[in-house]
Amino acid sequence: MNKYKIYVYAICKNESRHIERWYESMKEADGIYVLDTGSTDDSVEKLKALGVNVERKNYEHFKFDEARNDSLDLVPNDADICICTDLDEVLSENWRIELEKIWNENIDRIRYNLYFTFDESGKPLSSYYISKIHKRNKYTWTHPIHEILTYVGTTKENIETSETITISHLPDRTKDRSFYLNLLEESVKDNPLDDRNMHYLGREYMYNCEWDKSIETLIKHLNLKSSIWNEERGASMRFISRGYIALEKYEEGKMWLEKAIKETPHMREPYIELGILYYHLKNYKEAINVLEKALNIKEKSPTYINEEFAWNETPYDIISLCYYETGEFEKSLNNLKIALEINKNDDRLKNNYFLIKEKMKSVK
Protein backbone atom coordinates (compact mmCIF):
# COMPACT_ATOMS: atom_id res chain seq x y z
CA MET A 1 0.00 0.00 0.00
CA ASN A 2 1.30 3.46 -0.88
CA LYS A 3 2.33 5.64 2.05
CA TYR A 4 1.61 9.01 0.44
CA LYS A 5 -0.64 10.61 -2.12
CA ILE A 6 1.60 11.69 -4.98
CA TYR A 7 0.42 13.79 -7.90
CA VAL A 8 2.23 14.86 -11.06
CA TYR A 9 1.38 18.17 -12.72
CA ALA A 10 2.58 19.80 -15.94
CA ILE A 11 1.83 22.34 -18.65
CA CYS A 12 1.56 21.32 -22.28
CA LYS A 13 1.54 22.85 -25.73
CA ASN A 14 1.93 20.69 -28.82
CA GLU A 15 3.75 17.82 -27.09
CA SER A 16 2.02 14.96 -28.91
CA ARG A 17 5.24 13.18 -29.86
CA HIS A 18 6.34 12.89 -26.20
CA ILE A 19 3.09 12.01 -24.47
CA GLU A 20 3.20 8.19 -24.38
CA ARG A 21 6.83 8.17 -23.19
CA TRP A 22 6.09 10.78 -20.54
CA TYR A 23 2.96 9.02 -19.32
CA GLU A 24 4.73 5.65 -18.99
CA SER A 25 7.28 7.38 -16.78
CA MET A 26 4.70 9.18 -14.62
CA LYS A 27 1.93 6.60 -14.30
CA GLU A 28 3.01 5.42 -10.83
CA ALA A 29 1.51 8.64 -9.46
CA ASP A 30 -1.94 8.66 -7.83
CA GLY A 31 -3.05 11.28 -10.31
CA ILE A 32 -1.67 13.22 -13.26
CA TYR A 33 -2.85 16.76 -14.04
CA VAL A 34 -2.03 18.73 -17.17
CA LEU A 35 -2.90 22.27 -18.15
CA ASP A 36 -2.90 22.63 -21.92
CA THR A 37 -2.02 26.18 -22.95
CA GLY A 38 -3.14 26.12 -26.58
CA SER A 39 -2.15 22.93 -28.39
CA THR A 40 -3.09 22.71 -32.05
CA ASP A 41 -2.02 19.06 -32.38
CA ASP A 42 -3.71 16.03 -30.76
CA SER A 43 -1.99 16.43 -27.37
CA VAL A 44 -5.22 16.87 -25.42
CA GLU A 45 -6.90 13.86 -27.03
CA LYS A 46 -3.86 11.65 -26.38
CA LEU A 47 -3.63 12.73 -22.75
CA LYS A 48 -7.32 12.13 -22.10
CA ALA A 49 -7.16 8.71 -23.76
CA LEU A 50 -4.46 7.76 -21.23
CA GLY A 51 -6.62 8.87 -18.31
CA VAL A 52 -4.76 12.09 -17.59
CA ASN A 53 -6.79 14.93 -16.07
CA VAL A 54 -6.60 17.75 -18.61
CA GLU A 55 -7.84 21.34 -18.51
CA ARG A 56 -7.39 23.94 -21.24
CA LYS A 57 -6.55 27.60 -20.86
CA ASN A 58 -5.55 30.09 -23.52
CA TYR A 59 -3.44 33.05 -22.41
CA GLU A 60 -3.62 36.45 -24.03
CA HIS A 61 -0.10 37.07 -22.76
CA PHE A 62 1.62 33.83 -21.79
CA LYS A 63 3.89 33.69 -18.74
CA PHE A 64 5.44 30.47 -17.48
CA ASP A 65 4.96 31.22 -13.78
CA GLU A 66 1.27 31.95 -14.26
CA ALA A 67 0.76 28.75 -16.24
CA ARG A 68 2.70 26.68 -13.68
CA ASN A 69 0.58 28.08 -10.86
CA ASP A 70 -2.60 27.37 -12.79
CA SER A 71 -1.45 23.78 -13.35
CA LEU A 72 -0.62 23.40 -9.66
CA ASP A 73 -4.12 24.62 -8.85
CA LEU A 74 -5.45 21.51 -10.62
CA VAL A 75 -3.78 19.26 -8.04
CA PRO A 76 -6.12 18.14 -5.21
CA ASN A 77 -5.49 19.63 -1.79
CA ASP A 78 -5.05 16.20 -0.23
CA ALA A 79 -1.71 15.77 -2.03
CA ASP A 80 1.21 14.83 0.19
CA ILE A 81 3.74 15.25 -2.60
CA CYS A 82 3.60 17.17 -5.90
CA ILE A 83 5.94 16.56 -8.83
CA CYS A 84 6.22 19.21 -11.52
CA THR A 85 7.58 17.93 -14.82
CA ASP A 86 7.57 18.82 -18.50
CA LEU A 87 6.23 16.45 -21.12
CA ASP A 88 9.66 16.04 -22.70
CA GLU A 89 11.03 14.64 -19.43
CA VAL A 90 11.28 11.09 -18.09
CA LEU A 91 11.53 10.09 -14.43
CA SER A 92 13.89 7.28 -13.45
CA GLU A 93 12.53 3.77 -12.94
CA ASN A 94 11.08 2.97 -9.50
CA TRP A 95 10.99 6.65 -8.66
CA ARG A 96 7.93 6.19 -6.44
CA ILE A 97 9.60 3.53 -4.30
CA GLU A 98 12.67 5.74 -3.91
CA LEU A 99 10.57 8.83 -3.14
CA GLU A 100 8.55 7.06 -0.45
CA LYS A 101 11.78 5.78 1.10
CA ILE A 102 13.22 9.27 1.53
CA TRP A 103 10.07 11.32 2.20
CA ASN A 104 8.76 12.17 5.65
CA GLU A 105 6.38 14.76 7.04
CA ASN A 106 9.20 17.19 7.88
CA ILE A 107 10.46 17.43 4.30
CA ASP A 108 9.28 20.31 2.13
CA ARG A 109 11.14 19.63 -1.08
CA ILE A 110 13.42 17.03 -2.75
CA ARG A 111 16.53 17.90 -4.73
CA TYR A 112 17.53 15.45 -7.49
CA ASN A 113 19.56 15.29 -10.69
CA LEU A 114 18.33 16.49 -14.09
CA TYR A 115 20.19 14.90 -16.99
CA PHE A 116 20.14 17.13 -20.07
CA THR A 117 22.71 15.85 -22.55
CA PHE A 118 23.53 12.28 -23.55
CA ASP A 119 26.04 10.36 -25.65
CA GLU A 120 25.09 8.17 -28.61
CA SER A 121 24.38 5.21 -26.33
CA GLY A 122 22.07 7.26 -24.12
CA LYS A 123 24.54 7.64 -21.24
CA PRO A 124 24.11 10.99 -19.44
CA LEU A 125 26.87 13.51 -20.10
CA SER A 126 25.67 16.60 -18.23
CA SER A 127 23.50 17.08 -15.19
CA TYR A 128 22.65 19.43 -12.37
CA TYR A 129 20.36 19.44 -9.35
CA ILE A 130 16.76 20.63 -9.59
CA SER A 131 14.06 20.54 -6.92
CA LYS A 132 10.53 20.35 -8.30
CA ILE A 133 9.22 17.63 -5.96
CA HIS A 134 7.46 19.47 -3.16
CA LYS A 135 4.61 19.79 -0.66
CA ARG A 136 1.26 20.98 -1.99
CA ASN A 137 0.59 24.27 -0.23
CA LYS A 138 3.98 25.73 0.60
CA TYR A 139 5.08 26.85 -2.85
CA THR A 140 4.29 29.19 -5.70
CA TRP A 141 5.92 29.73 -9.07
CA THR A 142 7.59 33.08 -9.78
CA HIS A 143 9.31 34.70 -12.81
CA PRO A 144 7.55 34.82 -16.21
CA ILE A 145 10.35 32.79 -17.84
CA HIS A 146 13.01 30.52 -16.34
CA GLU A 147 10.46 30.25 -13.59
CA ILE A 148 11.37 29.37 -10.01
CA LEU A 149 9.48 27.25 -7.48
CA THR A 150 9.46 29.66 -4.55
CA TYR A 151 8.93 28.67 -0.92
CA VAL A 152 6.15 30.57 0.86
CA GLY A 153 5.93 28.49 4.05
CA THR A 154 6.12 30.07 7.48
CA THR A 155 8.82 27.79 8.91
CA LYS A 156 12.37 27.17 7.72
CA GLU A 157 12.36 25.21 4.47
CA ASN A 158 13.66 21.62 4.71
CA ILE A 159 15.20 20.26 1.51
CA GLU A 160 16.52 16.71 1.18
CA THR A 161 18.70 15.38 -1.65
CA SER A 162 18.07 12.11 -3.49
CA GLU A 163 20.84 10.50 -5.55
CA THR A 164 18.54 7.70 -6.74
CA ILE A 165 15.70 9.76 -8.23
CA THR A 166 16.66 11.38 -11.54
CA ILE A 167 14.86 12.97 -14.44
CA SER A 168 16.03 13.05 -18.05
CA HIS A 169 15.26 16.00 -20.30
CA LEU A 170 14.72 14.79 -23.87
CA PRO A 171 13.46 17.83 -25.79
CA ASP A 172 12.47 18.32 -29.38
CA ARG A 173 15.38 20.50 -30.55
CA THR A 174 13.40 21.69 -33.57
CA LYS A 175 10.65 23.29 -31.49
CA ASP A 176 10.41 27.06 -31.79
CA ARG A 177 11.61 28.82 -28.63
CA SER A 178 12.19 32.24 -30.15
CA PHE A 179 9.54 33.76 -27.88
CA TYR A 180 11.89 33.23 -24.90
CA LEU A 181 13.80 36.38 -25.85
CA ASN A 182 10.67 38.56 -25.84
CA LEU A 183 9.61 37.17 -22.46
CA LEU A 184 13.05 37.84 -21.01
CA GLU A 185 13.11 41.38 -22.39
CA GLU A 186 9.69 42.06 -20.87
CA SER A 187 10.71 40.48 -17.57
CA VAL A 188 13.84 42.63 -17.28
CA LYS A 189 11.93 45.74 -18.32
CA ASP A 190 9.35 45.08 -15.59
CA ASN A 191 12.02 44.31 -13.00
CA PRO A 192 15.45 45.70 -13.97
CA LEU A 193 16.87 44.72 -10.56
CA ASP A 194 16.21 41.01 -11.09
CA ASP A 195 19.75 39.69 -11.41
CA ARG A 196 18.66 36.19 -12.42
CA ASN A 197 16.73 37.18 -15.53
CA MET A 198 19.26 39.87 -16.40
CA HIS A 199 21.82 37.06 -16.65
CA TYR A 200 19.43 34.92 -18.69
CA LEU A 201 18.67 37.82 -21.05
CA GLY A 202 22.37 38.43 -21.67
CA ARG A 203 22.83 34.72 -22.31
CA GLU A 204 19.88 34.69 -24.74
CA TYR A 205 21.40 37.60 -26.69
CA MET A 206 24.62 35.57 -26.84
CA TYR A 207 22.74 32.54 -28.21
CA ASN A 208 21.30 34.86 -30.89
CA CYS A 209 24.78 36.25 -31.71
CA GLU A 210 23.70 39.74 -30.69
CA TRP A 211 27.13 40.35 -29.23
CA ASP A 212 26.92 44.02 -28.25
CA LYS A 213 23.56 43.58 -26.54
CA SER A 214 24.84 40.47 -24.79
CA ILE A 215 27.95 42.22 -23.47
CA GLU A 216 26.01 45.27 -22.30
CA THR A 217 23.34 43.20 -20.56
CA LEU A 218 25.77 40.84 -18.84
CA ILE A 219 27.81 43.78 -17.52
CA LYS A 220 24.55 45.15 -16.09
CA HIS A 221 24.04 41.77 -14.41
CA LEU A 222 27.48 41.95 -12.79
CA ASN A 223 26.83 45.49 -11.54
CA LEU A 224 23.57 44.64 -9.76
CA LYS A 225 23.86 44.58 -5.96
CA SER A 226 21.87 41.35 -5.88
CA SER A 227 24.34 39.64 -8.24
CA ILE A 228 26.23 37.70 -5.58
CA TRP A 229 26.25 34.06 -6.75
CA ASN A 230 29.82 33.55 -7.89
CA GLU A 231 29.09 30.73 -10.36
CA GLU A 232 26.47 32.75 -12.22
CA ARG A 233 28.74 35.80 -12.15
CA GLY A 234 31.55 33.68 -13.57
CA ALA A 235 29.25 32.47 -16.33
CA SER A 236 28.36 36.08 -17.21
CA MET A 237 32.06 36.87 -17.44
CA ARG A 238 32.67 33.90 -19.74
CA PHE A 239 29.74 34.90 -21.94
CA ILE A 240 31.06 38.47 -22.15
CA SER A 241 34.37 36.98 -23.25
CA ARG A 242 32.63 34.95 -25.97
CA GLY A 243 31.09 38.15 -27.29
CA TYR A 244 34.41 39.94 -27.47
CA ILE A 245 36.10 36.93 -29.09
CA ALA A 246 33.32 36.78 -31.70
CA LEU A 247 34.02 40.48 -32.37
CA GLU A 248 37.73 39.58 -32.70
CA LYS A 249 38.61 41.67 -29.63
CA TYR A 250 40.86 39.00 -28.19
CA GLU A 251 42.52 41.01 -25.42
CA GLU A 252 39.10 41.92 -23.99
CA GLY A 253 38.06 38.28 -24.31
CA LYS A 254 41.19 37.17 -22.46
CA MET A 255 40.65 39.77 -19.73
CA TRP A 256 37.10 38.59 -19.02
CA LEU A 257 38.16 34.94 -18.88
CA GLU A 258 40.84 35.86 -16.36
CA LYS A 259 38.13 37.63 -14.33
CA ALA A 260 36.00 34.48 -14.55
CA ILE A 261 38.88 32.36 -13.24
CA LYS A 262 39.28 34.68 -10.25
CA GLU A 263 35.51 34.55 -9.64
CA THR A 264 35.24 30.75 -9.92
CA PRO A 265 38.68 29.17 -9.46
CA HIS A 266 36.96 25.88 -8.54
CA MET A 267 35.37 25.48 -11.99
CA ARG A 268 36.98 24.04 -15.12
CA GLU A 269 34.99 26.07 -17.58
CA PRO A 270 36.87 29.41 -17.59
CA TYR A 271 40.29 27.72 -17.69
CA ILE A 272 39.25 25.63 -20.67
CA GLU A 273 37.77 28.58 -22.56
CA LEU A 274 41.00 30.52 -21.93
CA GLY A 275 43.01 27.51 -23.09
CA ILE A 276 40.98 27.33 -26.29
CA LEU A 277 41.54 31.04 -26.88
CA TYR A 278 45.30 30.66 -26.36
CA TYR A 279 45.30 27.70 -28.76
CA HIS A 280 43.59 29.72 -31.49
CA LEU A 281 46.07 32.54 -30.90
CA LYS A 282 48.87 29.94 -31.24
CA ASN A 283 50.08 30.62 -27.71
CA TYR A 284 50.47 26.91 -27.04
CA LYS A 285 52.51 27.01 -23.84
CA GLU A 286 50.00 29.31 -22.10
CA ALA A 287 47.20 27.08 -23.36
CA ILE A 288 48.88 24.02 -21.86
CA ASN A 289 49.35 25.83 -18.56
CA VAL A 290 45.69 26.75 -18.08
CA LEU A 291 44.38 23.45 -19.47
CA GLU A 292 46.53 21.49 -17.00
CA LYS A 293 45.02 23.59 -14.22
CA ALA A 294 41.55 22.79 -15.55
CA LEU A 295 42.24 19.05 -15.59
CA ASN A 296 43.40 19.19 -11.98
CA ILE A 297 39.84 20.17 -11.04
CA LYS A 298 38.05 16.86 -10.46
CA GLU A 299 34.69 17.95 -9.01
CA LYS A 300 31.93 19.24 -11.29
CA SER A 301 29.59 21.94 -10.01
CA PRO A 302 26.17 20.42 -9.28
CA THR A 303 24.42 23.53 -10.63
CA TYR A 304 23.13 24.38 -14.09
CA ILE A 305 26.25 26.52 -14.65
CA ASN A 306 28.41 23.48 -15.48
CA GLU A 307 28.88 22.92 -19.22
CA GLU A 308 29.40 19.72 -21.17
CA PHE A 309 32.60 20.83 -22.93
CA ALA A 310 34.42 20.98 -19.61
CA TRP A 311 33.77 17.33 -18.82
CA ASN A 312 33.87 15.58 -22.19
CA GLU A 313 36.84 15.01 -24.50
CA THR A 314 37.35 18.72 -25.29
CA PRO A 315 40.11 19.65 -22.79
CA TYR A 316 42.12 16.50 -23.62
CA ASP A 317 41.69 17.14 -27.34
CA ILE A 318 42.87 20.77 -27.14
CA ILE A 319 45.81 20.05 -24.86
CA SER A 320 46.84 17.19 -27.18
CA LEU A 321 46.91 19.62 -30.09
CA CYS A 322 48.97 22.08 -28.06
CA TYR A 323 51.51 19.44 -27.00
CA TYR A 324 51.80 18.40 -30.65
CA GLU A 325 52.57 21.97 -31.68
CA THR A 326 55.29 22.22 -29.00
CA GLY A 327 56.86 18.93 -30.13
CA GLU A 328 55.88 16.98 -27.00
CA PHE A 329 54.44 14.10 -28.97
CA GLU A 330 54.20 11.53 -26.18
CA LYS A 331 52.17 13.91 -24.00
CA SER A 332 50.09 14.75 -27.05
CA LEU A 333 49.36 11.08 -27.67
CA ASN A 334 48.58 10.33 -24.01
CA ASN A 335 45.97 13.09 -23.83
CA LEU A 336 44.50 12.08 -27.17
CA LYS A 337 44.07 8.52 -25.88
CA ILE A 338 41.96 9.89 -23.02
CA ALA A 339 39.89 11.96 -25.48
CA LEU A 340 39.27 8.81 -27.53
CA GLU A 341 38.23 6.87 -24.44
CA ILE A 342 35.55 9.49 -23.89
CA ASN A 343 34.51 9.81 -27.54
CA LYS A 344 35.39 6.64 -29.41
CA ASN A 345 33.53 7.58 -32.60
CA ASP A 346 35.17 10.88 -33.50
CA ASP A 347 36.90 10.44 -36.86
CA ARG A 348 39.08 13.52 -36.42
CA LEU A 349 40.43 12.23 -33.11
CA LYS A 350 41.10 8.82 -34.68
CA ASN A 351 42.95 10.46 -37.56
CA ASN A 352 45.00 12.58 -35.15
CA TYR A 353 46.00 9.42 -33.30
CA PHE A 354 47.57 7.91 -36.42
CA LEU A 355 49.19 11.21 -37.41
CA ILE A 356 50.87 11.53 -34.00
CA LYS A 357 52.00 7.89 -34.09
CA GLU A 358 53.54 8.47 -37.52
CA LYS A 359 55.19 11.68 -36.34
CA MET A 360 56.72 9.87 -33.35
CA LYS A 361 58.17 7.22 -35.69
CA SER A 362 59.67 9.86 -37.98
CA VAL A 363 61.52 11.67 -35.18
CA LYS A 364 63.09 8.58 -33.64
Q: Bigger pLDDT: 178 or 21?
A: 21
Q: How far is CA 100 from the centre of its chain?
A: 27
More confident residue, 192 or 176: 192
pTM: 0.87
pLDDT for 312: 93
Average pLDDT over residues 347-364: 88
Predicted local distance difference test score (pLDDT) of residue 176: 67
Structural domains in the chain plus CATH codes: 6-169 (3.90.550.10), 179-311 (1.25.40.10)
23-76 pLDDT, tens digit per residue, is: 999 999 999 999 999 999 999 999 999 999 999 999 999 999 999 999 999 999
Distance CA 112, CA 99 (A): 11
Region of 248 (left: φ > 0; alpha: ψ -120 to 50; beta: rest) is left
pLDDT for res 126: 84
pLDDT of residue 204: 95
Would you state the pLDDT for residue 163? 93
In contact, 16 and 41? CB cutoff 8 Å: yes
Alpha-carbon gap, residue 310 to 53, rounded angstroms = 42
> What confidence category does residue 123 fall into, taking pLDDT thresholds of 50, 70 and 90?
confident
Per-residue pLDDT tens digits for 283-327: 999 999 999 999 999 999 988 899 999 999 999 999 999 999 999
Average pLDDT along the chain: 94
> Which band of pLDDT confidence, cut at 50, 70 and 90, is reported for residue 364?
low
pLDDT (tens digit, 9 = 90+) per residue, 249-269? 999 999 999 999 999 999 999
Has residue 117 got a pLDDT over 90?
Answer: no
